[in-house]
Structure 1
């Protein structure tokens, strides 16, 4: 993964890959396919051209026999659009139907393969289709309808909210925003995803109450009433809204090895075999007056919507917090920039 190479390869990419990998290791889940676009272009990593990539590699031959030949989690790269060109997400919309056709072909083929392996000769179809972001939601809605398979959707960010935020800045007109971001097509896809989903997964209650409520297909008050009627077995007269579920983002800690030390950040070092500091350490620590204080690490791209300025302002105005910890914000993933936060200077 080339995380941070552009606005399309941020935290969402890592989120989706780690989700697929985690699902692939869960009991009761035989296989997870993460469908994306295949690209063979000189300006992107060679792995983008690989048609299949395994996310949960087996360690032994016996594990393959125990779990099954085709079990696990995989990235499946579907060729659609111009294969030798990387296309930003805003320009992918005309190619979505081609992706759906090719994805449908893959699913049908894989259902036959799994049927031979674990289905007694009968096709094994997906139990759910999960769309991430508007374009994948649009695709998932079409696939869900074609296969009669339940759909889930995670928006990650929403077009109507983005449109409102940009309009508030007063720098672009509605037409200019639509030209740059294809925002109306994105909103159309989100409305379709909303209408087609059984469950919509969000990160916060704010996303439900303030962002999804901007959409024609959702009203939080009406959704609660419909949910209550369904629980009581009362007729909803054909009205339906997807169930909204909050799953806060997490982080994988299994690969992180903490240093031995107390809560004040003092580390006990073995003089004979000291643990070397990572290479970035010297680049970061030279900016801090007391570099051994605990660090608050802020990770986000430099986008006004991420509200980093408010974080810096709040930290700078809170003396007890400044005395307790350092704040570190690398403003992109390819070059390092830090600030002398302790003194309140940029």
Structure 2
């Protein structure tokens, strides 16, 4: 198996990782690296590629401009360049996503062998994986790591949050599988997006990050006297980025509020690398922390080092194991990788009760849970552990005894099994175009109708026509009603309610709003003078024109120059549709399939024209009828793509027969 991990944000390179060197270089980097290395050791995996951005930044290692870097036998980090060679923070990545997606698809096209699966980390990587899924039929797994709806619920509703949530919803909808770390993510957080996930969600806790204790080197643990009056006292340790949700200032206030705690222990906080360019939020949090540390009540009792490396972290964990405690006071934590790092080093913990830490502490039994908004509770929990040697010993023993519940080998075996399961391409859904695919031959149409009457395979129509026009042509050709209609070139999904009434799916329509500015697209294209189709062919996520392939190319160039995101689809030799970037037949089929716990790999698409190309590329099985237009000559031959000899519906039936989906009825003599 060839696994491709896709992670765009942060500084991805071979260990050791300098966590906190940028705002996005956090725990997910360790997750990706350790997952890849563990998966490469499984018998069925022969190659793992971690794909990320290539960039040049004078403040960061030059290795990020290397095209490829070897991690281990069969494991590489492969970097993809766009015209923007700057390091980009998460918020700025969106502007480069279209260019990166195109470069990524070129990278996939050049590979001598396509990956069997793409594992996308965060929604930006999932958006790229969705395009690879559409073009090449490569299934993808999505790991969100942190979800916007929960961040918003905790008061982190900054600029761009709604766009982030929409992107996450699109990723959840399109993913062939979803891997999360905790039951809270699986049972509560993901379900808040209103997307059917049953059958696609897998809860696989990660393993323990490997942090060997340095020997011989001088570390922060040896230099705490630079900040602390009595560095020999037990350490209350916290490690987190200096952002508001991590609640580090509350920990300082909790420490300051308890004279007994200040007497018994020191507080050490590693809050990223202070000597790098910081966001306004980080600058504000660091300024507040420095001001709190300047209070005479805590001066000489709190260390806030401006920089640290991996050896410093390991040494401070080892120091905290000697009578101290590790604290994660975050307002909400999706998982809490530092809590299992602490457990591996025998360090008891005090952790937020919100999110993944609850599950971790209940599993290992190595600490106490607190309400992160209750600073007195944080202080009491810390004092309970550092002030009671028997409790400290009991929690430390539990940590080392039970941390094995988080094991990378177990994760690797389970995740590879998930990848293999979504590679199951037994057909479970048929999606057909209408014009010249099901229509054009009365005999073939009649055979299809007879097959449908005796088949339990779910069936959807995927057409460029409107809903009313699609129903009319099906009646005209005496073709059967489908289970759902995908109409207007994949910009509307029409489903049936419990009492048999057809209605547009609002969740799909909402997903198409992402990154779509219809008014700006219309204004930008108007000066081209390309003939518009009748107004009734337009829709909220679609504008339609008459024109040539040259006109379609002009539209693409004009929109790209204006930096407007849209898909331009040329079909039937004279029709041009400009649709929302998240739309299209493949996207709609993926959304409908996901409602039923299916992936695109389990879908069969049948078509004849350019507006069918995306679904013919993306679905696990594709039937191209013999009368197909030249627009489909560009389809790349692959397993599952069937160019049949019969025309129209007879060709669909030929393809279904090839797939073993028809039944032959013997006629008695």
> Shorter chain as normaliser: what TM range?
0.5 to 0.7
- Aligned twin of 1:20: 36
Length-normalised TM-score, structure 1: 0.64
* Structure 1 pair 18–318 and aligned structure 2 pair: CA distance change class (3 A): farther
SS in 2 for 1:166: coil
SS in 1 for 2:223: helix
- Aligned twin of 2:24: 8
- Aligned twin of 1:46: 62
Q: For residues 58-92 of structure 1, what are the alpha-carbon distances to aligned partners after superposition, in whole Å with 9 as ceiling and x for unaligned?
A: xxxxxxxxxxxxx5111111112412x22222122
In 2, are the aligned partners of 1:153 and 1:199 still within 8 Å (CA)? yes
- Aligned twin of 2:88: 87
Deviation at 1:190, TM superposition (A): 0.9
Q: For residues 72-131 of structure 1, what are the alpha-carbon distances to aligned partners after superposition, in whole Å with 9 as ceiling and x for unaligned?
A: 111111112412x22222122233232222222222322x2xxxxxxxxxxx43121111
* Structure 1 pair 318–140 and aligned structure 2 pair: CA distance change class (3 A): farther
SS in 1 for 2:79: strand
- Higher RCO (C-alpha under 8 Å, 6+ residues apart): 2
Give the structure with the higher percent strand. Answer: 2
Q: Within 1, Cα distance between the matches of 2:167 and 2:49?
A: 22
| 239, 253, 260: which one aligns with 1:299 | 239
- Correspondence 1:184-199 to 2 at 5 A: 184-199=162-177
- Aligned twin of 2:74: 72
Moved over 6 A (4+): 313-325, 335-339
Please, which runs of 5 or more residues in structure 1 have no aligned partner? 57-70, 113-123, 168-173, 228-241, 258-274
- Aligned twin of 1:235: none
Please, which runs of 5 or more residues in structure 2 have no aligned partner? 1-10, 12-17, 276-285, 303-323, 325-378, 380-669
Q: Within 1, Cα distance between the matches of 2:179 and 2:256?
A: 34
Q: For residues 282-305 of structure 1, what are the alpha-carbon distances to aligned partners after superposition, in whole Å with 9 as ceiling and x for unaligned?
A: 432562646264x45322112222
- Aligned twin of 1:216: 194
- Aligned twin of 1:128: 117
Q: Within 2, Cα distance between the matches of 1:249 and 1:308?
A: 26
In 1, are the aligned partners of 2:30 and 2:209 still within 8 Å (CA)? no
In 2, are the aligned partners of 1:24 and 1:73 still within 8 Å (CA)? yes
Q: Within 2, Cα distance between the matches of 1:92 and 1:192?
A: 17
| 261, 271, 279: which one aligns with 1:331 | 271
In 1, are the aligned partners of 2:228 and 2:266 still within 8 Å (CA)? no
Q: For residues 306-333 of structure 1, what are the alpha-carbon distances to aligned partners after superposition, in whole Å with 9 as ceiling and x for unaligned?
A: 2345656777889999899765322223
Decide which moves more: 147-156 or 22-31: 22-31
Q: Within 2, Cα distance between the matches of 1:189 and 1:244?
A: 20
| 146, 150, 154: which one aligns with 2:139 | 150
Larger Rg, first or second structure (1 or 2): 2
- Aligned twin of 1:284: 224
SS in 2 for 1:77: strand
Length-normalised TM-score, structure 2: 0.35
In 2, are the aligned partners of 1:158 and 1:211 still within 8 Å (CA)? yes
Q: Within 2, Cα distance between the matches of 1:323 and 1:21?
A: 44
Q: Within 2, Cα distance between the matches of 1:40 and 1:23?
A: 30
